[in-house]
Homo-oligomer: A and B are copies of this chain.
Amino acid sequence: MIKTETKKTKKQIIIEEAATLFREKGYSATTMRDIAAKVGVEAASLYNHIKSKEQILSKICFSLADTYTSKMNLIVATDDTPIAKITELLFVHIEINAMSSPLASVMNDEWRHLTEPERSEFLDQRRTYENQFISIIKAGIADESLIDMDPKIALYTMLSSIRWLQHWYHANREMEVDSLKNTIISLLLKGIQNK
């Protein structure tokens, strides 16, 4: 079969519907029959397209993890200032968490239901990403564009601060994405205090 890019494969549809359910109810509380009903098919028919329930989760986690990884590699390769790099990375996180589907919620909250060896692979990939991010923060501290602080705390606080978007934003679409971006970035760079 020729795969055109306009038409989604059934596998993709299954993964997307599953992701929506995983975000709503969590991985464990979502049954194959739930997913099948959303797709419009019997539960057993899902297995013509996917190998197992866990493979669906795996595909979700790694597809988004790969997106983050490749973005990071692009940004690392530039000779932007540390602050410019961080700003760009935060843009990526905001965009993915605010806009992109339920994938972000699922990757962030349900990865722990992966079994070995996928679980370790996922954590390795995440650790690599975090280390790259921390190097950028350290470079910013070194050239004194950032205040002297624990880079790990700074990283986790920044990344964590964006996570609420994945739960809240799709219910509050009235906010403009660009103003959202600017508000959050300004908050993280300059804080909330006046002067």
Residues of B within 8 A of A112 (CB): 25-26
| CB-CB contacts below 8 Å: A137-166 with B | 140, 144-147, 149-150, 152-154, 156-164
A73 to chain B, nearest CB (A): 23
Contacts of A162 in B (CB 8 A): 157, 160
Minimum distance in angstroms from A14 CB to a CB of chain B? 21
Is the C-beta of A74 less than 8 angstroms from some C-beta in chain B?
Answer: no
How many copies make up the complex? 2
Q: In the complex the two chains form, what is the Cα distance from A27 to B186 in whole Å?
A: 37
Interface size on A, residues (CB 8 A): 45
> Is the beta-carbon distance between B188 and A153 smaller than 8 angstroms?
no
The reply to whether A147 and B193 form a contact with Cβ atoms under 8 Å apart is yes
A145 engages B190 (CB within 8 Å): no
Identity of the chain B residue whose Cβ is nearest the Cβ of A193 in the assembled complex? B189
Closest-CB distance, A175 to chain B (whole angstroms) = 7
Chain B residues within 8 Å of A186, by CB: 149
Residues of B within 8 Å of A109, CB to CB, are: 109
CB contacts (< 8 Å) of A150 on chain B: these are 175, 179, 183
B149 touches A159 (CB 8 A): no
Cα of A158 to Cα of B113 in the assembled complex, Å: 28
Contacts A159-B164, A162-B160, A189-B191 given; does A184 touch B153 at CB 8 Å: yes
Query: How many Å lie between the Cα of A158 and that of B157 in the bound state?
Result: 9
Which residues of A approach B to under 8 Å, CB–CB?
A: 25-29, 83, 86, 109, 112-113, 140, 144-147, 149-150, 152-154, 156-164, 168, 172, 175, 179-180, 183-184, 186-194
Q: List 14 A-B contacts (CB under 8 A).
A: A25-B112, A26-B113, A109-B109, A146-B194, A149-B183, A150-B183, A152-B172, A153-B175, A153-B183, A153-B184, A157-B162, A160-B162, A188-B192, A190-B191
